[in-house]
Amino acid sequence: MFSAIVIDKNDDGQTVGLQQVDESQLPEGNVTVDVAYSTLNYKDGLAITGSSPVVRKFPMVPGIDLVGTVSESSHADWKAGDTVVLNGWGVGEGHWGGLSQKARLNGDWLVPLPSAFTPKQAMAIGTAGYTAALCVEALVNAGVTPDKGEVLVTGATGGVGSVAIALLKKAGFTVAASSGKASEAEYLNQLGATTIIDRAELSEKGKPMQKERWAGVVDSVGSFTLANACAQTRYGGAVAACGLAQGADFPATVMPFILRGVSLLGIDSVMAPKAPRLAAWARLARDLDPAVLEVIGHEIGLGEAVEAAKGLLEGKVRGRIIVDVNR
């Protein structure tokens, strides 16, 4: 038996709580992992609270991230004792996820834990940090360089934004952080942001073309924020879009793309192939100071995850929530 957060559904609606689960109930997979840590992402918050139909079958163990040690494997790449990381691949939605002391998974979904990080640090990074690294990789590959101007990070106090700022700063960029939390200016400056702008400047309907400001953008917000960010991006710049915290709509025009040659880069972290995953984790290992993770992350126990998920959706969380599944 092991402990797990279990989401189920009955005639009265969704139920969720900490339960004892028999190992025989684990789903199919060729690698079994003793989980050390998981984390809470926005998608986990939606799943746990039932605010959005994220969960595709019941019962479900949420948690789109995990790190742990392989206990059994019939997969060629992994053996007992290996330390592995999982981000995405539909776990916590269609396949049991990481908010559990054990997980059974497809070995193709796993990557090795970089030696630069401890298991706890890997979950301070989590899908949010890994997505941030995918965004920075995409901007750099699109030709955005520090000499071309500032890079804007929206949703800056969230998990994606926090890690993106730190990575961009390390790579030599000047970073502007957009946030609705004026009290977090010191935190954002500590991560590496030079300029702090109020998210209200971007969150309402704006003109199709605006003053050129940004060489690149990392956006986890969507909606009017993304539209305005595109409208403010400099000629030949690029915008990496990876989230929808404000909304899934995109109330924009084609003007920035056809008159300024702006590129809109879609970033998918869930089903990304192994090569970009490894490149993202390599960037994190090279450019992310582990000391920053002490600022970004805070730890809770597995039994606290349900309440923490509610706070996450209410915008009460800064940075990353690390879940020690064994306490």
- Could you tell me if residue 283 is inside a domain? no
- Could you tell me if residue 278 is inside a domain? no
Query: Is the same domain home to 140 and 219?
Result: yes
Query: Is the same domain home to 96 and 132?
Result: no
Interval 6-43: pLDDT, tens: 999 988 889 999 999 999 999 999 999 999 999 998 89
Task: State the pLDDT at residue 249.
Answer: 98
Where on the phi/psi map is residue 126: left (φ > 0), alpha (ψ -120 to 50), or beta? left
- Could you tell me if residue 285 is inside a domain? no
Look-up of token digits 């090569």: 275
Taking 80 as the threshold, does the pLDDT of residue 178 lie above it? yes
Look-up of token digits 């997979």: 29
Query: Is the same domain home to 139 and 219?
Result: yes
Q: C-alpha angle with apex 54: 222 to 244, nearest 5 degrees?
A: 5
| 245 to 39, 158, 222: CA distances (angstroms) | 18, 10, 7
Task: State the pLDDT at residue 195.
Answer: 96
User: 65: which strand partners?
Assistant: 87
- The total of structural domains in the chain comes to 2
Q: Coil, strand or helix: which one is 148?
A: helix
- Could you tell me if residue 168 is inside a domain? yes
- Could you tell me if residue 118 is inside a domain? no
Query: Is the same domain home to 195 and 154?
Result: yes
Query: Is the same domain home to 190 and 249?
Result: yes
Interval 267-326: pLDDT, tens: 999 999 999 999 999 999 999 988 888 888 899 999 999 999 988 888 777 778 999 999
202: closest CA among 178, 234, 237? 178
Query: Is the same domain home to 221 and 134?
Result: yes
Query: Is the same domain home to 36 and 138?
Result: no
DSSP-derived secondary structure for 261-316: --EEEE---SS--HHHHHHHHHHHHHH--HHHHHHHEEEEEGGGHHHHHHHHHTT-
**What's the rounded Cα separation, in Å, for the pair 309 and 163?**
20
**What's the rounded Cα separation, in Å, for the pair 10 and 30?**
31
Query: Is the same domain home to 155 and 190?
Result: yes
Interval 125-137: pLDDT, tens: 999 999 999 999 9
pTM: 0.91
Look-up of token digits 């924009």: 252
| 318 to 8, 178, 302, 307: CA distances (angstroms) | 29, 14, 19, 15
Query: Is the same domain home to 143 and 227?
Result: yes
**What's the rounded Cα separation, in Å, for the pair 54 and 270?**
13
Query: Is the same domain home to 132 and 218?
Result: yes
CATH number for the domain that contains residue 85: 3.90.180.10
- Could you tell me if residue 279 is inside a domain? no
Query: Is the same domain home to 8 and 77?
Result: yes
Task: State the pLDDT at residue 52.
Answer: 85
- Could you tell me if residue 54 is inside a domain? yes
Q: Are 126 and 86 in contact (CB under 8 A)?
A: no
Query: Is the same domain home to 109 and 135?
Result: no
Q: Angle of helix 159-170 relative to helix 119-141, nearest 10 degrees? A: 70
CATH number for the domain that contains residue 187: 3.40.50.720
**Which domain, by its residues, includes 45?**
2-113+291-324
